[in-house]
Structure 1
Amino acid sequence: MFDFTTLAIAFLCLAAGGVLKGATGAGAPVIAVPALAMMFDVRFAVVVMMMPNLLTNILQAWRFRGSQLAGSFVWLFAIAGAVGAVIGTMMLAVFPADYLSLLVAFGVFAYIASRLMRPDWMIGLDLARRLSIPVGVVAGVLQGASGVSAPVSLTFLNAMRLDRPIFISTVSIFFVAMTLTQVPALAVTGIMTWQGMAISFAAMLPILAFMPVGSALAQRFSKETFDRVILAFLAALALKIIYDFTTR
C-alpha cells in the first residue's frame, strides 16, 4: 500500500493542497482528498486530512483573529458545520467506499460549476446570516462524508464577497469547529486509528512546507490564472475517479 511511488504521489498531492491553502487561505482538501481517494479510498483520505485541517486552521484563525466578522454569523455557521460533520461521519462509516468516491467526484464538479457559472453571484450579510445554519449543516455533512465541503462552504463564503482577511478568519473558524467534532466521531466509528492519526500528523509537513509557495504564487500570478489551473487539475482528478469507478 505504501511503496515509494505511492508515497511520492501522496506527498505531491498534499504539497499541491498546501499551495492552494497558502494562495487562498482555504481549499487544501479540495485537491488532496480527491487525489488520495483516487489512490486509496475516501475514508483514508478523510483521516489523512484531519490534523492538517485542524492545525493549519487553528494557526490561521489565530493569525487573523483581529479580522473576525461582527455579529453571530461566524459562530452560527461554525456550530452548524460541526453538527453536520458528525452526521456526515456516520455516513462515512456506513456507505460503500466506491460510492463515497463518486460523492467526492461529483462534489468537485459542483464546485467547478459554481465557480464558472456564477462568478459574480453575491449574498448580502443579512441573507447569509439567515442561511448560515442550513448551509453550515449541509457543508458539514459533505465534509464528514467525503472530506470536501468546498462545493457548499467556499461557494457560499465567496458569494459574500468578504475581504481576504475576514474570509480566511471565517473559513478557519468553520473548519476548526467541524474538525473538533469529526475527529472524535471518526474514533468512535473506528475509522480513525492510532496509525491513521500518525499518518495525519505526518501529512502536516508537505502542506506547511508548501503554503509559503502558494502565498508567493498568489502575488505573482493573477487570481484568474491561478483559478483556471486549479479548476483544470480538479476536473482531471474527478474524471479519473469516475473512470476508475466505471471500469471496476
Structure 2
Amino acid sequence: MVAQISFADTWGLAAIVVAMTLGGILKGATGAGIPIIAVPVIAAVYDVRIAVAVMVIPNLISNLWQIFKFRSSAADMGLCWQLAVFGAIGAGIGTVALAELPSTFLSLCMAAIIIAYILLRVVRPSVQLSMASARKSVAVVSVIGGILQGAVGVSAPAIVTFLNAMKLARPVFIVTVSVFFASMAAVQIPAQIYYGLLTPDIAALGLFAFIPLLGALPVGDWIGRRISPKVFDALILAFLAVLALRLIYAELL
C-alpha cells in the first residue's frame, strides 16, 4: 500500500525543501544530481513509489529550463536525439516494471561500473570516449539509464558516467544530459498517471517541491560558471563516487 501524503507534515515538507535545494544547487552547477539527493529523502518520509512520482514533474520542468538556457551549446543534435529516444523507451519499460525489476542487482552493477570508471580515470586521467565510440554505445546506455530512471528514479549511474567519459565542456554536458532527463520525464508522466502512481495529490507535492528547486538552480549555475573545467571534472567524479557509495549502502547495509 502506498503511503499517504500530508501537507500538514511540516517536518516532511521541510526535509523535501532542504533536499530539493541541495539537489538544485548540484544540478545548476553540473547538470545532474537532483534525484540522488531528493529521492532517498522523499522515500524516507513517504515511500519509494511516491518519491519517484514526486520527482517527475520537477525533473521535467528543471530540465526544460536548462535546455532553453544552454540551447546554443547543443554541439551534436544527433547524439541528443538518440539519448532522448532511447532514454524515453527505457523510461517506459522501467515504469511498467516498477515493482518487478531486480533493482538490487542493477544498482550494484551500476555501482561497480562507476567505481571501475573512477579508478580508470585516476590511473589513466587522459582516458576519453570518442564520438564514434559514443554513437555505437549510446542506445544501450540510454535504455539502461531510462530503465533505472523509470524503476528507481535514479539514472545517473549510466548516463552521467557515459557523458563524463566523453569529456564534454560544461555547457554541452548540461544541455545534453538535460535532453535525456526531459525525454524520460515526458514518458514517465503519462505512464505514471495510467498506472495510478502520479495522483493529483502527488502532482501537487511535486509542484511544491519545484519551488525550492527553482530558487537553487541559478545559485548552482552561478557556482558552475566560476569553476575551471578541471574542477568541474573533479566535481563530476566526486558526484559519481558518492552515488556509487550510496547505491552500495542502500542495497547491502
TM-score (norm 1): 0.84
Number of the residue aligned with 1:171: 177
Partner of 2:209: 203
Distance 2:238 2:166 in 1: 23
Name the CA distance, whole Å, in 2 between partners of 1:48 and 1:69.
32
* Residues 115, 244 of structure 2: 8 Å contact kept: no
Q: Percent identity?
A: 39
The reply on whether 1:33 has 2:24 as its aligned counterpart is no
CA-to-aligned-CA distance 1:164-203 (integer Å, 9 cap, x gap): 1111111111111111111101111111111111111111
Unaligned runs of 5+ in 1: none
Quick one: distance in 2 between partners of 1:226 and 1:162? 14
Structure 1 CA distance for aligned equivalents of residues 143 and 46 of structure 2:
27
| Within-5 A mapping of 1:143-162 | 143-162=149-168
The residue that corresponds to 1:79 in the other structure is 85
Distance 2:179 2:26 in 1: 18
| 1:91, distance to aligned residue in structure 2 (A) | 1.4
From 139, 142, 157, the counterpart of 2:145: 139
What whole-Å deviation, never above 9, does each CA across 1:118-174 have from its counterpart, x for those lacking one?
334421001111111111111100110011000001110111111111111111111
Greater mean deviation of Cα atoms: 28-37 or 51-60: 28-37
| Offset, 1:66 | 1.4
What's the C-alpha RMSD, in Å, of the aligned pairs?
2.8
Equivalent pairs counted in the alignment come to: 240
Following superposition, the deviation at residue 104 of structure 1 comes to: 8.7
- 2:119 matched residue in structure 1: 117
The 3 A distance-change label for structure 1 pair 6 and 109 is farther
Matched, 1:95 2:100: yes
Amino acid paired to 2:136: R
Matched letter for residue 18 of structure 1: G
Instruction: Confirm or deny that 1:9 pairs with 2:34.
Output: no
C-alpha deviation, 1:227, in angstroms: 5.4
3-state SS in 2 of match to 1:95: coil
Would the alpha carbon gap of residues 54 and 71 (structure 1) be closer, same or farther in structure 2, given more than 3 Å must change? Answer: closer
Taking the aligned partners of 1:210 and 1:104, their CA distance within structure 2 comes to 31
Distance in 2 (CA, whole Å) between partners of 1:76 and 1:113 is 26
Q: Relative to structure 1, is the Cα distance of residues 227 and 70 closer, same or farther in structure 2, using a 3 angstrom cutoff?
A: closer
Q: Secondary structure at the match of 2:156?
A: coil
CA contact (8 A) 1:114 1:151 kept: no
Give the structure 1 partner of residue 135 of structure 2: 129
Q: In the aligned structure 1, how far is the partner of 2:46 from the partner of 2:116?
A: 27
Q: Say whether the 8 Å CA contact 2:73–2:171 is kept in structure 1.
A: yes
Between the aligned partners of 1:112 and 1:84, the Cα distance in structure 2 is 20
Determine if contact 1:103/1:146 at 8 Å carries over to the other structure.
no
Q: Distance in 1 between matches of 2:113 and 2:70?
A: 25
Q: Residues of 2 paired with 1:137 and 1:241: CA distance?
A: 23
| Matches for 1:45-64 after TM superposition, within 5 Å | 45-64=51-70
CA distance in structure 2 between the aligned counterparts of 1:10 and 1:108, rounded to whole angstroms? 26
Unaligned regions of 5+ residues in structure 2, if any? none
After superposing the two structures, state which structure 1 stretch, 1-10 or 158-167, moved more.
1-10
C-alpha displacement of 1:224: 6.9
Superposed, 1:182-221 pairs within 5 Å as: 182-218=188-224, 219=226
Q: In 2 relative to 1, CA 52–107 (structure 1 residues): closer, same or farther, beyond 3 Å?
A: farther
Distance (Å, rounded) in 2 between the aligned partners of 1:27 and 1:111: 18
Map of 1:18 onto structure 2 = 24
Shift of the 133–104 alpha-carbon distance from structure 1 to 2, 3 Å rule, reads closer
**Distance in 2 of aligned mates of 1:30 and 1:177:** 18
What one-letter code is carried by the residue in structure 2 that aligns with 1:48? V
- Displacement of 1:77 in angstroms is 1.7
